[in-house]
Structure 1
Amino acid sequence: MVPPTARRSLARAAVAAALAVSGTAALALPAAASPDGPWQDASYTPHQGQWRPYVLSPSSRTVRPVKVYKADPRQGAIDGSPDAALRDGGGSVRLTGAADRTGSPLLVIDFGKEVAGHLKVRVKGASSTPPKLRACFSESIEYAALAPDANNGEGRIAPGCDTANIWNGFPGQPYTQDTDSHALPLDGKKLPATVRDGVLRGGFRYATLFLDGPGTVDIDGMSVDFTAAPNQRDLDGYQGHFLSSDNELNKIWYAGAYTVQVNTGASNTAKSWPYASGEGDHADAQVPHADPSKSVIYDGGKRDRIVWQGDLAVQAPVTYLSTNDLEAVDNSLSSLAAQQLPDGFMPAESQVGQHNADELRTYGEYVTWFVNNMYEHWLYTGDRAYLDKWWPQLTKATAWLESVRAQDDKGLIAFDKAGSCGHYGYSDCGHETYVNALYARNLTQMAAMAKARGDASAAATYGDRSATVKKAINDQLWDDEAGAYRLSREIPGAYPQDANATAVLAGVADGDRATRALAYLRKNNWAQYGSLTVSQKTPNASLPPFYAPLPSSFESDARLDTGDASGLDLIRTFWGHQLRQDPGSTFWEHMQPDGTPNLQQFSSLAHGWASGPTVTLTTRVLGVQPTGPGYSSWAVVPFTGGLKWAEGTVPTPRGAIAASWRTTGHVFRLDVTAPRGTSGRLAVPVTSATSHVTLDGRTVWSHGKATARGVTGDGKYVYVDGAPSGRHTLTAR
């Protein structure tokens, strides 16, 4: 992850160029097993029980391309059918090189979706002195440098590549040397033979073959050794799933799950920056403190390819709800926790290479994410031993945050004196609503964990402190005239998306403030492709508006939590737009106001922190959430949002929770099966016309009143608390 604040260390000119308009990305429809499945058929109708057609993960570690995107002879030649490159045997395609790579033929192969791993090319034959065979990779056609001047001159040097090296060809800087293509050596090979790329490429959709020098190469097959999620044996057999009557929402759920799956890799395949001058792109560094035998979850497949606290805030819950690869989550969280500094500060990212070492204390915001991630891990898994192991680090991190807050006589955090002003989205060393709301939530989380560990005194201290911080936010940062929370005390004239959505989610905003804050965003921040970080009318040149997936997830969650169905509209607009572009199967790091990736050819188009809707659709729409550690207690509170039905399974340490709901005419039916040793809350939406609610055939609510113990209503739902394990049907008529 390269947050905008980190760009200052690259070059201000590069930042300006990165924010420039760069055209429209190519329309993209990923490949799937069925030609008439949801990814190809725009009129596809979802059917209950049929979730597997949505899964993008391959069923095999060998992934084959789906088509030849382009065969361009340029100053060389291409003879035979280019389609021969799609299969092993049955003919071949001959590439004849020119004097050098600038005139080489280009064979652009489309794998139909984002993939990751080692490219394999079957070479049937070659001239007696074969030319050098090289491969370029790109997540999109828009940024595959197929024209000479593309990507600041990359097309002349590494045709078909996007840019994965932060020091060469970053937007606004010239591309001066080939640091992106991979060599596929033919020297000494007895042909025919399969040549395997020895260098991992962690994320791409398109592979372009070109020749460096004269001579011929005959190709009769290509594939990828898929290396993502190396310890997941059943790649496409997800332990959790989601399905609804809305085809687009279904695709968004599975694209999010696949994005995180692509980002999951062996812990010795990180990137260590900066590269030496002329050094090619590679991913072979060990994540410090990670178990080498276990996977980790990187922020992006292509780049930065390290573990980040903020990205894990989304990636870990996605993993819990889809693949359930707990080993990868544990290894990632532990590797970061082990980096804690003596004063309690928690570095934001894996300390791999000098670039990350230079950012050791940059990101104060990300200390809050460490606390959040450990809490979420305990809540989803119930792993008390893991919590106890890292409890000292949690208390030290929280104490560091409190020490920063104590420096302010008005009781709010600001990171200027700590020198840790780095932020996911903008530069501000002030007393922000966003950061303080995150800290207030941390304190509530610490209170819950302390209580579970039997420390009532610490729980009370954390709880009281959370209430104090929330009051300070409301007293100092709420603008009643605007009806929204300010960015900070220092920048009072901006009302950003993150401040207002997070205030709602963290319980800072009461009912009226929550309603008004979300209304402000709807009126001022919503634009063509979603909700912008700040209104385009914000009078502050240091706050250029863009689309960011992290706060957009916050906003969609906040809207659904307050009963606002426009949260689903936001998901369809922002994430749906991305699925209609390349690579059409994974989600992007950031997006510019014109709907294009934020960093052009350097953009990461498979970035796990953009997968929030996978969590939202399971926890809000299907409605399944843990309320006790490891789902010892749970809640199933559906949100229909105009949908006709939804269903899914949620893996838990005690077995899966299966839930489904359907609305038909004047009847809403919820079916839930919960594992042994658990209990929870069931809920059905009601209106003034609802006359009866029955649980397993027995009336529990009649004409506005409960008729059984443990049953309550709030005008929007009827709740049944204490439902035991087993199967239950709750029906409202």
Structure 2
Amino acid sequence: MPRHLGDGRAIAARMRARANYRVTHGLTPGLTHGVTLAAAFALAACGGTLGSADSTTPWPANVSAASYLPDTGNVRPVKVVSVSGSVTGADSLLTGGAVTLKYVAGGAAPTVVLDYGHEVGGLPAFGIAAQSGSPTLSATFSESRTTAATGDVSAGLTVSVDPQRASLFPVSATGTLKSSAVQGGERYETLSLATPGEVTLNSVAIQSLYAAPASATSSTPATLGSFVSSSDTLNRIWTAGAYTVEMDRLVANALPLAWQVSAEGTTIGSSGTGIVQKSGGWPSDYAMAFDVRVNSNSAGWTMRDAGNLTSLRFVLHSASDTQGTPNTLELDAYSTFAGGAIKLGELPVAAGIATGTWHSVSTSLSGNTASVTLDGANLGTLDASGAASVLLTSYGSAGFFNLPASQATYRNLAITANGASLYANTLMAASALDDFSANTNALPLLIDGAKRDRTVWSGDIAVEAPTLFYTSAQNDAVAGSLRLLGSYRLANGEVSTTHSPQDPLISTSADAYGSSSFYSTQYSMYFVTALHDYYLYSGDATLLAQQWAAAQGELNYLQTQVDSNGLIAVDASNAQDWLPDFASPVTGEVASTNMLYYQVLTDAAELATAMGDASTSAIYVQRAAALKQAINSRLYNSAGGYYGMSAASMGAVAQDANALAVITGVAPQASAATVLASIAQKLANPFGRLAFSTDSGRTAVVSPFASDMEVRARMASGDTRGALNLIGTLWGTMVADGDNYTGTVWEALGTNGLPVSSQTSLAHGWSSGPTSALSRYVLGVRPVTAGFKQWLVKPQTGDLQWAVGTVPTPYGAIPVKWGRARNGVFRIDVTVPAGTTGTIALPAGGTVKVNGVATTASTSSALDSAGVVSDGTAYQYLNGVQPGSYSIVVGG
């Protein structure tokens, strides 16, 4: 939730009150007639209004730098959407009262749907004021109103996160009932009773995991970023991106321990799956033996688990299980991308499974057959061949999980194959948590989405990190993510691409850990680009030195993938990109992969120079030049004026490949406009741009991730109006009023402008690109040397009248205000922090006065060597600008 600088608790209360008022009156929370709440609070505090300039400035008189932070503490619902069954007092719950739900056997279950007004996340908590009978409280969570009743789909990739979006809480006493597992992102919460009884709730809340940046309470609050312009839509979009990344940022040790270890064993309630991490080289057929005590309802374990993406799941239902068939063993095929579990079969347990008693279990796999024994008795076999529909792998690890309202204790795990031990653990020591990635997150990190996947992905960080640099500047989350990714490296040098935030750092080769952290060749490259951007914005030479060996190893690995044509060629084993297509990925000489490789080589050359390694830098420069020539020779469709999707699909157009060609300079500058025009024509969609042309064979989707690349390509080539039009069309859809509004940005859109499915993340950091683009290009502030030691302020105004904002740097904030008066006079105010120098670019063709003194501007700048013209407007430059405050007028 956006928040103006000041006392966090007071502002949070004001924002909740404002949101409550606006929901009650049918308005979208988080928006004030199109103005961000942060901007509205800033203006209210200063007595200003957006929309008109005063006599001395071309921007509104009292625009204040506003910061965008999530609510902390208990976040409460602001509206009752609907009520059915026996529910009393629902509306009073919003103002401190109580709601009573009563369920009579044979009658209708009571149900109340609550609305938090915007995306929230954390640990669900319920105040139980009274209860009778044996009620079970059911809580269903959803980002979208359309799935509020059933819950949307969350991928259980993190142990501390509840993969179920429909949680069950048996109620046996008064007091606070709090979930032990995280619900990372939701706007809607549906409460009901799953078993007969009566419950009175005097509070319903989400206890946030998200901490406000330390600088929010420091003496220099201006170190936080902000952006406000003459476009209300752009202001909402900037805020949504900033808030999204804060929802996707974890401070160290934020995640609760979902597994509890004691001398009895490891006790697991409803949680995500924890699997043995060191499972590289395991055969497809192995046996898993352990002791288990079902404490409530059921116990669960998993085999052939491919990093929690696909697996075989076994559920042992006790005699008193209220959620499954009592005294049975169930086998499911599970797939993250197929939306959950598919039941394959079950076996009866004639002896029965009493809760509170220990049992020994052994499960063995042989091909598609699973054999299970319980307390030495053979239960029979189950056929797993039906798992083909979820693309179950023939390999994978083993571990434990549990279903809603279930709890079990496990001990004495032994995994064997052909009589040899693969892994053994008593599960009675805390060290077991790291073996299963079930500990808390030791590092501050950036995860991809609030509800899904809640994992660290290198490709997502490539977009999230710049957003963070321009907003809360909590750079430690980027540093922690890089440390985690760089810790896992294969012997061939490839750097990992995805991790649970609960994965521990390692100091040995990652080959022993299997392939689940190594998604694809393309994704492994993002480690280098993220390291480059982190160093550029932070100036942290220490982390660069620590991770330089990992970066060099990645570059060595990538060189081994280059074919005789001078291009990287991928096959089905390493060809996945940002659009998962496990059945038939684009293979061969893929354009986007090679464009990204070119960027990696140029970024690596700059990093090598920073490391004082001129010879290695020269090698990367040479490789980049050869690659550029090969791309233009093999992958450019000269007749169409664009780059083909791959050497084998030259007629198909990929948005990311062509945008990257412009961003990186692979496309000659004279061809940039042609390439971008081809994208606009061939990928046209009412809600932005298709990611792939209809003849590509790929899913028809509007991707904010790929579209961010096009936004940057248009900005970098001077098509500012085109970039702003794309931002307003695509991202404007996400921040518009409606049941899908979350105040955050979505993972993807269908061709109809709606979320693709209930699985789609509606708070996904890789979609936050406009936030950094607006600060970098429209406000105009960008680093030239590491840590903003040298900077360039070059506003690309498009059709905007004014913009005001602040960019945080390691040396202090750079506040900028610019605007164009009605008489055409351009004014820009800039404050330069101590220890830095830079260049201010101004519209060419007018006289220049600095603080009232006529000054001669230069026609060029070494800090803007490309000299890109924006929408036909050339620039003149004030070079060597020293620390201080400047008010600059051009014309008049």
Structure 1 match to 2:154: 164
- Tell me, in whole angstroms, the C-alpha distance in 1 between the residues paired with 2:404 and 2:135: 22
Structure 2 match to 1:491: 649
Structure 2 match to 1:86: 94
What is the CA deviation profile of residues 258-315 of structure 1, one whole-angstrom value per residue up to 9, with x for unaligned ones?
1111111256649543684563379x98796999444211111111111000011111
Q: What displacement does 1:707 show? A: 12
Paired amino acid for 1:424: W
- Tell me, in whole angstroms, the C-alpha distance in 2 between the residues paired with 1:329 and 1:261: 12
- Tell me, in whole angstroms, the C-alpha distance in 2 between the residues paired with 1:498 and 1:266: 32
Residue pair 1:659, 1:670 contacting (<8 A) in 2 also: yes
Residue pair 1:684, 1:731 contacting (<8 A) in 2 also: no
| Partner of residue 103 from structure 1, selected from 108, 113, 128 | 108
Root-mean-square deviation (CA), in Å?
A: 3.3
Structure 1 match to 2:408: none
Paired amino acid for 1:567: A
- Taking a change above 3 Å as real, the CA distance of residues 488 and 312 of structure 1, as seen in their structure-2 partners, is same
1:321 matched to 2:470? The reply is: yes
Q: What displacement does 1:394 show? A: 0.6
| Partner of residue 385 from structure 1, selected from 538, 542, 566 | 542
- Tell me, in whole angstroms, the C-alpha distance in 2 between the residues paired with 1:364 and 1:227: 33
Paired amino acid for 1:568: L
- Taking a change above 3 Å as real, the CA distance of residues 294 and 571 of structure 1, as seen in their structure-2 partners, is same
Q: Give the alignment of 1:293-692 within 5 angstroms.
A: 293-350=442-499, 358-405=515-562, 408-416=563-571, 419-425=573-579, 427-536=585-694, 538=695, 540=696, 542-564=697-719, 565-580=721-736, 581=738, 582-598=740-756, 600-664=757-821, 665-686=823-844, 690-692=845-847
Structure 2: 5+ residue stretches without partners: 1-24, 41-48, 52-59, 257-271, 274-307, 316-401, 406-431, 504-510
Structure 2 match to 1:141: 145
Paired amino acid for 1:78: V
Structure 2 match to 1:70: 82
Structure 2 match to 1:214: 196
2:122 match: secondary structure = strand
Structure 2 match to 1:31: 29
Q: What displacement does 1:231 show? A: 6.7
- Tell me, in whole angstroms, the C-alpha distance in 1 between the residues paired with 2:187 and 2:596: 36
- Tell me, in whole angstroms, the C-alpha distance in 2 between the residues paired with 1:607 and 1:710: 33
Residue pair 1:443, 1:465 contacting (<8 A) in 2 also: yes
2:758 match: secondary structure = helix
| Partner of residue 246 from structure 1, selected from 231, 234, 248 | 231
Structure 1 match to 2:362: none
What is the CA deviation profile of residues 195-248 of structure 1, one whole-angstrom value per residue up to 9, with x for unaligned ones?
222321111111111101222112232222111247758499781111111111
Paired amino acid for 2:99: V
- Tell me, in whole angstroms, the C-alpha distance in 2 between the residues paired with 1:462 and 1:292: 35
1:203 matched to 2:209? The reply is: no
Residue pair 2:67, 2:224 contacting (<8 A) in 1 also: no
- Tell me, in whole angstroms, the C-alpha distance in 2 between the residues paired with 1:178 and 1:244: 40
Residue pair 1:87, 1:222 contacting (<8 A) in 2 also: no
Structure whose residues are more often strand by fraction: 2
Structure 1 match to 2:879: 721
- Tell me, in whole angstroms, the C-alpha distance in 1 between the residues paired with 2:90 and 2:234: 36
Residue pair 1:587, 1:608 contacting (<8 A) in 2 also: yes
Residue pair 1:48, 1:647 contacting (<8 A) in 2 also: no
- Taking a change above 3 Å as real, the CA distance of residues 204 and 725 of structure 1, as seen in their structure-2 partners, is same
Higher relative contact order (CA 8 A, sep 6+): 1
- Tell me, in whole angstroms, the C-alpha distance in 2 between the residues paired with 1:481 and 1:369: 31
Structure 2 match to 1:16: none
What is the CA deviation profile of residues 714-733 of structure 1, one whole-angstrom value per residue up to 9, with x for unaligned ones?
76111222222222233321
Paired amino acid for 1:371: V
Residue pair 2:784, 2:790 contacting (<8 A) in 1 also: yes
Residue pair 2:499, 2:517 contacting (<8 A) in 1 also: no
Paired amino acid for 1:123: I
Residue pair 2:121, 2:206 contacting (<8 A) in 1 also: yes
- Tell me, in whole angstroms, the C-alpha distance in 1 between the residues paired with 2:542 and 2:658: 36
- Tell me, in whole angstroms, the C-alpha distance in 2 between the residues paired with 1:166 and 1:28: 35
1:280 matched to 2:435? The reply is: no
Residue pair 2:121, 2:186 contacting (<8 A) in 1 also: yes
What is the CA deviation profile of residues 334-359 of structure 1, one whole-angstrom value per residue up to 9, with x for unaligned ones?
011101111111121016799x9554
Residue pair 1:487, 1:494 contacting (<8 A) in 2 also: yes
**261-270 or 468-477, which deviates more:** 261-270
Q: What displacement does 1:506 show? A: 0.8
Residue pair 2:135, 2:196 contacting (<8 A) in 1 also: yes
Residue pair 1:378, 1:387 contacting (<8 A) in 2 also: yes
| Number of positions where the alignment pairs a residue of Structure 1 with one of Structure 2 | 657
1:210 match: secondary structure = strand
- Tell me, in whole angstroms, the C-alpha distance in 2 between the residues paired with 1:130 and 1:293: 39
**259-268 or 520-529, which deviates more:** 259-268
Q: What displacement does 1:571 show? A: 0.5
- Taking a change above 3 Å as real, the CA distance of residues 35 and 450 of structure 1, as seen in their structure-2 partners, is closer
- Percent of pairs identical after alignment? 32
1:117 matched to 2:102? The reply is: no
| Partner of residue 61 from structure 1, selected from 73, 77, 90 | 73
1:660 match: secondary structure = strand
What is the CA deviation profile of residues 531-583 of structure 1, one whole-angstrom value per residue up to 9, with x for unaligned ones?
111233x2x4x223211111100101111222211110111111110112423
- Tell me, in whole angstroms, the C-alpha distance in 2 between the residues paired with 1:317 and 1:48: 30
Paired amino acid for 2:574: S
TM-score by length of 2: 0.69
1:110 match: secondary structure = strand
1:677 match: secondary structure = coil
Structure 2 match to 1:157: none
- Taking a change above 3 Å as real, the CA distance of residues 35 and 132 of structure 1, as seen in their structure-2 partners, is farther
- Tell me, in whole angstroms, the C-alpha distance in 2 between the residues paired with 1:291 and 1:327: 17
Residue pair 1:379, 1:630 contacting (<8 A) in 2 also: yes
2:597 match: secondary structure = helix
2:181 match: secondary structure = coil
Structure 1: 5+ residue stretches without partners: 1-26, 147-159, 168-176
Q: What displacement does 1:112 show? A: 0.4
Q: What displacement does 1:194 show? A: 2.9
Q: What displacement does 1:494 show? A: 0.6
